[in-house]
Amino acid sequence: MALPKFIFFASLLGLMATGVYLSLPAHAETAAQASYAADPSYRLGTGDKVRVIVFDEQDLGGEFQIDDGGFIRLPLIGQLKAAGYSPRELEARIASALSDGYLNAPRVSVEVTDYRPFYIIGEVNKPGQYAYVNDMTAMNAVALGGGYTVEASNSSVYIRHEGEKEEQKYTADAATKILPGDVVRVPRTLFWSAITVAGPISAIVSTRWYLPTPPP
């Protein structure tokens, strides 16, 4: 009776050895994508797309994108501020609005389905705007930006989080997390920065060397 189990596990090990892996079910992938949104510190912002579920009221839910003003437009409720709130806080706001003359003790769920993009600039081969990937790190961001240029410093990055005015210096490794809406800047090395500054100065000096001496 133990033979079928042995055959099953042997087949599974064979698949793993050949690099064939079973894919996660769709609901597991969705849970992984939403794991960051479950972080109570995460704040929604312009460009995020959320899925709203009102239990037992299918027509009142759906997917909604936060507009440039920070609002979503929901059935019955209309326009509601979403930016700046966590998904759990938005659940409470929607439930409160629905309780005001529409439903008795509504139960609401909110999860992020698509995050707003992040930006990477500076010394990468392909600077620009990129779709945010769950659990992104500084290393992931540089890779999406096409990798470092020859003038890049690969030891640190500067990050300006959305809503902040100043960028901060961080180590460019897997421990540095990137958030949706972040602006990531990869700096030059000190050597290349010095060359950039010295270039115009040396050009001025060379020009003065060859200019004729003005008459007294």
In a domain, 60, yes or no: yes
13-22, 126-135, 170-179, 193-202: the lowest-pLDDT one: 13-22
Examine the domain organization and report whether 29 and 107 are in the same domain.
Answer: yes
Alpha-helix runs per DSSP H in the chain:
3-17, 26-34, 87-99, 138-144, 190-210
61: CATH: 3.30.1950.10
Residue 176 located in a structural domain: yes
Average pLDDT of the residues in 48-63: 94
pTM for the whole thing? 0.66
**Cβ atoms 186, 200 nearer than 8 A:** no
Range with lowest mean pLDDT among 23-32, 92-101, 158-167: 23-32
Q: For residues 123 and 84, give the distance between their C-alpha atoms in angstroms, rounded to a whole number.
A: 31
C-beta atoms surrounding 210 within 10 Å: 6
Handedness of CA 161, 33, 129, 177 (dihedral sign): positive
Half-sphere exposure of 7 (CA within 13 A, CB side): 4
For residues 44 and 87, membership in a common domain is answered with: yes
**Which residues form the domain of 151?**
118-191
Are 187 and 123 contacting, i.e. CB atoms less than 8 angstroms apart?
A: yes
Number of domains in the chain: 2
Both 93 and 128 in one domain: the answer is no
DSSP, collapsed to helix, strand or coil, labels residue 159 as strand
The residue that leads in pLDDT, 108 or 16, is: 108
Identify the CATH number of the domain in which residue 187 sits.
3.10.560.10
pLDDT digits (tens, 9 = 90+) for 81-117: 999 999 999 999 999 999 998 899 999 999 999 999 9
